[in-house]
A = this chain, B = another copy of it.
Amino acid sequence: MNIVEFFQQSAGKWFSQRTSHHLAFKQSESGKSDIVIEMLPSDNPEVVKLCEQYEIDPTLALCGARVTWNGTMEWDEEKHTGSTVLVPIADPENPKEGKLLREMGYAEKAPVAGRYKMGDDEALTLITEYESMYSEERLWFASPNLRLRNSILKRFGGFSMATFCSEIRMGGTQPQAEAASSTTNT
């Protein structure tokens, strides 16, 4: 599976259960979220705009995806809603790794490109570093309709949080067109 196929496999609506282990407090916090992931063609205006923000040639975009979430976390009971666009840009010498461009999240002050790496075990690893923060996330499919995610967060050099998400495809199956296209590419 390459990164575009991973994104295609991720397209759809997901119910996500999230648990964060706050390592210093020895406390865990859980949350739930609905997530919608839509594929965007590489010439989509949002994809092109994001490349330009990062000063990267838009023709290098492998694809794009819009991720929208709507959820709650246990401790604050506030609605966590948001949306971002992701664009992978492969390294010239190694298509299994590259940059992952992302629209700015609520916690960031400046655009920061993450790194992606597709493993031989079909897991996708995303690494994001900014200022005093380092995050490493691993995403993989237990089945086409069950996606799992694990992330570990370091602040100021120390591990502060480990998070786990299990994500179940809503409706149970992938939309026909997506499923057909990802089968073709596998």
Q: A17-B21, A119-B121, A121-B119 are in contact. Are A30 and B32 (CB under 8 A)?
A: no
C-beta contact mask, A154-173 vs B, less than 8 Å → 1, else 0? Answer: 00000100101010100000
Interface hit among A3-11, A43-51, A101-109, A143-151: A143-151
Bin the interface of chain A by size: 20 to 34
A142:B166 contact, CB within 8 angstroms: no
A15 within 8 A of B: yes
8 Å CB contact of A17 from B15, B17, B28: B28
8 Å CB contact of A19 from B28, B32, B121: B28
Nearest-Cβ distance from residue A89 to partner chain B, whole angstroms: 23
8 Å CB contact of A164 from B121, B159, B164: B164
Q: A32-B26, A159-B142 are in contact. Are A21 and B166 (CB under 8 A)?
A: yes
8 Å CB contact of A146 from B26, B32, B159, B164: B159
Tell me the complex Cα distance, A162–B19, Å: 11
Query: Could you tell me which A residues sit within 8 Å of B by CB distance?
Result: 15, 17, 19, 21, 23, 26, 28, 30, 32, 119-121, 142-143, 146, 148, 150, 152, 159, 162, 164, 166, 168
